Amino acid sequence: MTQKTTEARIELRVARYRPDKDREPGWQEYDVPLREEWTVLDGLNHLKDKVDTTLAFRWSCRMGICGSCGMNVNGEPRLTCATFLSDYAPGPVRVEPLANFPVVRDLVVDLTDFMEKLPTVKPWIIRDDDALPDQDGEIDGEYLQTPEELDAYKQFSMCINCMLCYAACPVYGLDPDFVGPAAIALAERYDLDSRDQGARERLDVLIEHEGVYGCTFVGECTRVCPKHVDPAGAIQRYKLKAAQESVKAFLLPALPKRLRGGR
Amino acid sequence: MSEDLTYRRPISTWWWLRKRSYFLFVMRELSSIFVAWLVLYLLLFVRAVFEGEEAYRDFLDRASSGPLLVLNVLAFGFLLLHTVTWFGVTPQAMDLRVRGQKVPKGAILGAQYVALVVVSGFVFWLVAR
């Protein structure tokens, strides 16, 4: 058997952008072996290793948990480590940087915008009694939770910040001020946590125009999410909460914020 | 600070033709205009009924004229799209729990169509009796 010479190959059309040379991105075609167990990321790593060392892309774990290797494959935001070349045979496979983000180089995008937005929704546990010492003078950080209480937010805690949802969201593409799917889903994750008391603080941020109301329920974020987080669902529920809050504020204007709502 | 060399890709005006799901979304948004038109048309119809027999006959004559008929058939198509697409996404927006268990999507979807049939039946009975 002359397996080496008959090995199937597939064409990768890779978007290249070299900021020091190019004024705008262009395409470069490569041939990579088409092996049943090879993902798009394996193809890129093969290129980087054997063909073209100048190719730039992000990756880390190769097992769908680090969230680094998100790219647009044939126009769809995908984790390239979980996207098999054989599913695109006979090719070619178009590989582009994630949509809606500025391109730094080749397949690498600039995520600064998300990194700045994420802390504004306070994705951590907020307690009224934070840092209050107990009878023994110690700060006790243990808050027990039942399986049902865990179940209430678990789905939203699976987010790996891979940014596929932002790449799929036309609202974010057209209006980069929109807080975006993953950040709102993470806000919901902490709101639904029985240990958390910060719902009120988060609502103040998300009730703004660029918060939940920016979303027009396209639903693509949920469709592309590799972790089944359902950001679209989280945002619609948040809208309901925000609307209830507005009605309460209208009916009971005299009550201080704390008594009216949140948890 | 050095110059910002990142490349910002422009978004095409036709982005919504790129994917089936984007297209359906834009059609769903567009359907709201036709829903608004049908509401207005219904109000005009009610007004004609109140104004007496002649106005009512005029209204029916105009309703069967070519352009208006085409518009209303088109509007009805969009109304159907509006109903089906919004019913379709409702289970995603609602987190209904009965005794700690999440209500399945099919149940919420089914309940909406049952409600639609019941309300439509009631309206039909009201008009036809």
Residues in chain B, overall count: 129
- Cα–chain-centroid distance for residue A176? 15
The answer to whether B89 contacts A25, with C-beta atoms less than 8 Å apart, is no
* Tens digits of residue pLDDT in A186-212: 999 999 999 999 998 998 889 888 899
Nearest to A209 by CA among A263, A244, A171: A171
Among A20-29, A161-170, A224-233, A239-248, which stretch is predicted with the lowest mean pLDDT?
A239-248
Query: Greater confidence, A19 or A131?
Result: A19
- CA separation, residue A29 to residues A12, A94, B42 (Å): 6, 9, 59
Check residue B82 and give left, alpha or beta (phi > 0: left; psi -120 to 50: alpha).
alpha
Q: Of the candidates A24, A219, A240, which has its C-beta nearest B89's C-beta?
A: A219
Q: Of the candidates B9, B89, B94, which has its C-beta nearest A217's C-beta?
A: B89
Q: By the 8 A CB rule, do A238 and A156 touch?
A: no
Give the other-Cβ count within 10 Å of A80's Cβ: 27
- Rounded to whole angstroms, how far apart are CA atoms A198 and A26? 46
Nearest to A37 by CA among A82, A91, A102, A103: A82
pLDDT tens, per residue, chain B with 129 residues: 567 889 999 999 999 999 999 999 999 999 999 999 999 999 999 999 999 899 999 999 888 888 999 999 999 999 999 999 999 999 988 888 887 778 888 999 999 999 999 999 999 999 888
Q: By the 8 A CB rule, do A77 and A70 touch?
A: yes
Question: How many contacts (CB atoms, under 8 Å) link A and B?
Answer: 59
Extract the tokens encoding A13: 């059309």
Per cent of chain A over pLDDT 70 is: 90
The answer to whether B92 contacts A216, with C-beta atoms less than 8 Å apart, is no
Handedness of CA A114, A119, A120, A125 (dihedral sign): positive
Q: What is the pLDDT of residue A38?
A: 96
The answer to whether B6 contacts A110, with C-beta atoms less than 8 Å apart, is yes
The answer to whether A220 contacts B6, with C-beta atoms less than 8 Å apart, is no
Extract the tokens encoding A31: 């041939």
Q: Of the candidates A148, A216, A223, which has its C-beta nearest B21's C-beta?
A: A223
Give the other-Cβ count within 10 Å of A75's Cβ: 11
Extract the tokens encoding B83: 């109903």
Q: What is the pLDDT of residue A139?
A: 65
Strand residues in B28-128 grouped as ranges (E): 97-98, 101-102
- Cα–chain-centroid distance for residue B50? 27
Structure-token match 């790219």, residue found: A71
- Rounded to whole angstroms, how far apart are CA atoms A159 and B118? 41
Mean pLDDT for chain A overall: 90
Instruction: Tell me which chain B residue has its CA closest to the CA of residue A223.
Output: B21
Extract the tokens encoding A79: 């984790």
B93 near A CB under 8 A: yes
Predicted confidence (pLDDT) at residue A29 exceeds the cutoff of 70: yes
B12 near A CB under 8 A: no
Predicted confidence (pLDDT) at residue A126 exceeds the cutoff of 80: yes
The alpha carbon of residue A236 is apart from the nearest alpha carbon of chain B, in Å, by 5
Nearest to A106 by CA among A25, A42, A45: A25
The answer to whether B21 contacts A110, with C-beta atoms less than 8 Å apart, is no
The answer to whether B93 contacts A230, with C-beta atoms less than 8 Å apart, is no
Pairing of strands A108-109, A93-96: unpaired
- Rounded to whole angstroms, how far apart are CA atoms A122 and A145? 21
User: pTM for the whole thing?
Assistant: 0.88
- Rounded to whole angstroms, how far apart are CA atoms A182 and A165? 7
* Tens digits of residue pLDDT in A78-120: 999 999 999 998 889 999 999 999 999 999 999 999 999 999 9
Cis peptide preceding A181, ω within 30 of 0? no
ipTM of this predicted structure = 0.84
Predicted confidence (pLDDT) at residue A262 exceeds the cutoff of 50: no
The answer to whether B18 contacts A216, with C-beta atoms less than 8 Å apart, is no
Give the other-Cβ count within 10 Å of B123's Cβ: 10
